[in-house]
Structure 1
Amino acid sequence: MERFFRLKELGTNVRTEIMAGLTTFMTMAYILAVNPIILSPTGLDWTGVFLATALAAGIFSIAMGLFVNFPAALAPGMGLNAYFASVVISSAATDTPISPAVGLTAVFISGIIFIILTVTQIRQMLITAVPDSLKHSITVGIGLFITIIGLKTSGLMTIAVTSFNDIKANTFTPVGGSETVIQLGSFENSEVVYTLIALALIAVLMVMRVPGALLWGILATTLIAVITGHVDAGKTFSDNTWVPDFGTMNFWHFDFEGVFEVGLVTVILTFTFVELFDTFGTLIGTANRAGIMKDPEAGKKKVGKAMLVDAVGVGGGAILGTSTVTTYVESSAGIAQGGRSGLTAVTTGICFLLAIFLSPIVMLVPGSATSAALIVVGVLMMQAVKEIDFSDMVYAIPAFFTIAMMPFTYSIANGISFGIVSYVLLAAVANMTGKGKGQYKIHWMMWLLAILVIARYAFMDAA
């Protein structure tokens, strides 16, 4: 392993990598429970989606580690799975309802598009085209995005509005006399209390520089939750089976004729658009955090290979019977624990494969423990903000838009989109007026992306 993963060269060791991989798995394991809940209302079998989720995460995380030596794990993406479900469910009342098979076919086709874009080096051009200020802001934005996920899933943050119409009509329900849309959760909620316990444990361990602080914090919180009865271990074990039923899987559940009959061009393009920017942002963010981009040329090659594995994962996940598989921002948790090589991703992948047979144990980990870990990861990724030149408005404004739009619109793609368009506009104005003296470089792909982004939001559903 030392030679294969080049551990000494990367400044790491086997113990650190395994601990990092376990930490990444702990922060991602929620997808095993959440993905079947989101996709089963579409008509896909719950158990089949669970198995597809575990297999896809396991296979493609291991592939990322073995073929790229990159410490990032993959699994069916949150947001994209919700979009998949909404497309299928909302079409039920129309004249041309979309079946789960047609939806999976749309995901598979978007995966083929990704492979083509990656093999032709078009996706890799993004690494050169995007200015460093935006790359660093993507890292910071993802950190805040992860924090928002942790705050929301833990209950520490509540949202008292479901749509813009609620704000206009002032119909959202205030909590504790507050009239803000985003509010502090109730401390009567046990999930909030256990999240605070986990935060305290992880923070103290990190201050004490204990290796694997995130993982030990998660495990300690799980133990406390079991002892205090917050997690019912007996019920958890009795409600889950140790023997998986692979016959329930939706393997190669495709309907190519249905795609053309229904006309899912917009859906396919939406999958492609969101995944393109989500993956780019995640890979750049994690690569920066892992120190891979310190050597731009070597970093570009590694991220390019990672993009290919990610592209294959999109189609591969659809074959197994789940929505879009993508590189996970939660990989930053393992990287924060010192993960620097593909051994981290391999460890995470093996854990997902074992989860197929050990689901009762996996389900013991409370959401409050993983939520706390995600919040702390936000602190670590925030460090990249010092690399952004906020004294230069051409860089500062796009960077701010990128950072702010990711958590506040709950979308990595939205943040990157606003950053790209604003940078192209401001850099062009500065160069044309002479204020920038030609110093602001605008890669031709940035112009193309800006046009595509504007077209996407003008003519396509912004979901």
Structure 2
Amino acid sequence: MERLFKLKANGTNVKTEIMAGLTTFMTMAYILAINPNILSGTGLAWYSVFLATALAAGIFTAAMGLFVNFPVALAPGMGLNAYFATVVISSKGGTHPITPEIGLTAVFISGLVFIVLTVTKVRQLLLVAVPDSLKNAITVGIGLFITIVGLKNSGIMTIATENTVTDIAKGQFTDLLSFESVIHMGDLIHNHDVQIALIGLVLISILMVLQVRGGILFGILGTTVVSIILGYTSFDKLSDPDTPWVPNFSELNFAHFDWNGVIHTGLISVILTFTFVELFDTFGTLVGTATRAGIMKNPEEGRKRVGKAMMVDAVAVSGGALLGTSTTTAFVESAAGVAEGGRTGLTAVTTGVCFLLSLFLAPIAALIPGGATAAALIVVGVLMMQAVKDIDFQDLVVGIPAFFTVTMMPFTYNIANGISFGILSYVILATVANLRGGEKKYKVHWLMWILAVLIVARYAFIGSQG
């Protein structure tokens, strides 16, 4: 263990790493149910997607730990799976309908693009090109993004529109127009998911304040026990036919590609969208997690490890498509394990093994209520928020881009949007400041200019399509 993961050099031990890996798995386990639910709407079989999800997460997370010694887990990404489903479903009935097989082929191709970008070290250049202020802002923004995910998944936060206004008592907000929506507090009294999340928040927070090692994990387990006692979680799930004990790998959609369909459908824009969003999402997740884990304290060594992690991530994109699921990517929930002390690849290996075991123990994993994992995500947001102290908001050239990065992630519910606004605004403001002062005080890497152009082109293209 010591030779493979260098535990002492990273200030950790086997027990801490395993606890951290279990915590990461607990916060990610929801993907085992949510991903099949989303992709089954495209025509893919629910159980085949479940198998693909567990296998992709298990294999590539373990690979991240063994080959990179990095405490980051991978699984089919939220947002990208929704985009996948939207592209397939919205094309039905059209002149050139996109089948699930065509969609998986597009994901596979985007993974090949990532492998090329990683081998040529274009992706690794981001670590040098992006200024430290934006890197810290990415960490903070992801923390807020995780918090929003937790609040939304638990029901503590709801989004009210004109169509849902009848579900909320009148007088609690102004009348909405047809195009308006507001963020609102959920039902704290009658919604069981909200109650469980609040109990989890209190329990996990107390354990964290008392500095109990494994506080987040024990908080999740304790909240699950409370949910069972209150009758909100039933043992009936152990016999649910949708979560069989013994996996049937014959139902796996392995390499179900349609190359001719891609050529005739013309999925260039879809492939580019997958590539662009994954590029920034992965960069943000890896840098944010690496910073939190202390890996970036040695910049040169940190960049090497993140570069290797990017290669595993690139292979995972295509590998996940081979197994039959949408884009497999680094998960922001990895921060939960890092917050528990995870510093090496043993954390990732532990998480990967848990995902592989979930193929046989899916009914037990299904017992964990969503409110328990949501509470953990909210608390992790607090921990990642600590990086805000390293951002110099007095210097507006870096402060404004950092602010855009932090706010756009949660408010637009998209990590890539935050990074895009941060990069574009930094290039503009740093250039203007350098021209005004007569000296180049702020460094603008040439790659930042290329990214700025690509960002403008991307949003201009999206606008033309909308």
Q: TM range, normalised to the smaller chain?
A: over 0.9
Q: Which residue of 2 aligns with 1:199?
A: 201
Q: Which residue of 2 aligns with 1:274?
A: 277
Whether the aligned pair in 2 keeps the contact of 1:160 and 1:173 (CA below 8 Å) is no
2:330 is aligned with 1:330:
no
Q: Which residue of 2 aligns with 1:228?
A: 230
Q: Which residue of 1 aligns with 2:217?
A: 215
> 1:175 is matched with which residue: 144, 161, 168?
168
Q: Which residue of 1 aligns with 2:446?
A: 444
2:431 is aligned with 1:428:
yes
- Match runs of 1:16-165 below 5 Å: 16-161=16-161
The CA distance in 2 between the partners of 1:174 and 1:347, in whole Å, is 42
Report SS of the residue matched to 2:9: coil
The CA distance in 2 between the partners of 1:172 and 1:230, in whole Å, is 27
Deviation at 1:178, TM superposition (A): 2.4
The CA distance in 2 between the partners of 1:295 and 1:270, in whole Å, is 33
One-letter amino acid of the counterpart of residue 399, structure 2: A
One-letter amino acid of the counterpart of residue 61, structure 1: T
The CA distance in 2 between the partners of 1:308 and 1:42, in whole Å, is 29
- Length, aligned pairs only: 455
**1:175-213 CA distance string (max 9 Å, x none):** 332227000111111111110100010000011110000
Structure 1: give runs of 5+ residues left out of the alignment.
none
Q: Which residue of 1 aligns with 2:178?
A: none
**1:63-122 CA distance string (max 9 Å, x none):** 000000000000000000000000000000211100100000000000000000000000
The CA distance in 1 between the partners of 2:321 and 2:172, in whole Å, is 44
Runs of 4+ in 1 over 6 A off after TM superposition: none
**1:377-413 CA distance string (max 9 Å, x none):** 0000000000000100001000000000000000000
> 2:297 is matched with which residue: 275, 294, 299?
294
What is the TM-score normalised by the length of structure 1? Answer: 0.96
One-letter amino acid of the counterpart of residue 404, structure 2: F
2:422 is aligned with 1:419:
yes
**Paired-residue identity, %:** 68
One-letter amino acid of the counterpart of residue 353, structure 1: L
Q: Which residue of 2 aligns with 1:246?
A: 249
Deviation at 1:174, TM superposition (A): 7.7
One-letter amino acid of the counterpart of residue 199, structure 2: I
Report SS of the residue matched to 2:10: coil
**1:273-316 CA distance string (max 9 Å, x none):** 00000000000000000000011100000000000000000000
The CA distance in 2 between the partners of 1:87 and 1:104, in whole Å, is 11
Q: RMSD of the alignment, in Å?
A: 1.4
Whether the aligned pair in 1 keeps the contact of 2:237 and 2:366 (CA below 8 Å) is no
Whether the aligned pair in 1 keeps the contact of 2:36 and 2:47 (CA below 8 Å) is yes
One-letter amino acid of the counterpart of residue 175, structure 1: I
The CA distance in 1 between the partners of 2:240 and 2:462, in whole Å, is 46
Q: Which residue of 2 aligns with 1:258?
A: 261
Report SS of the residue matched to 2:274: helix
Deviation at 1:173, TM superposition (A): 5.4
Deviation at 1:438, TM superposition (A): 1.5
Structure 2: give runs of 5+ residues left out of the alignment.
175-181
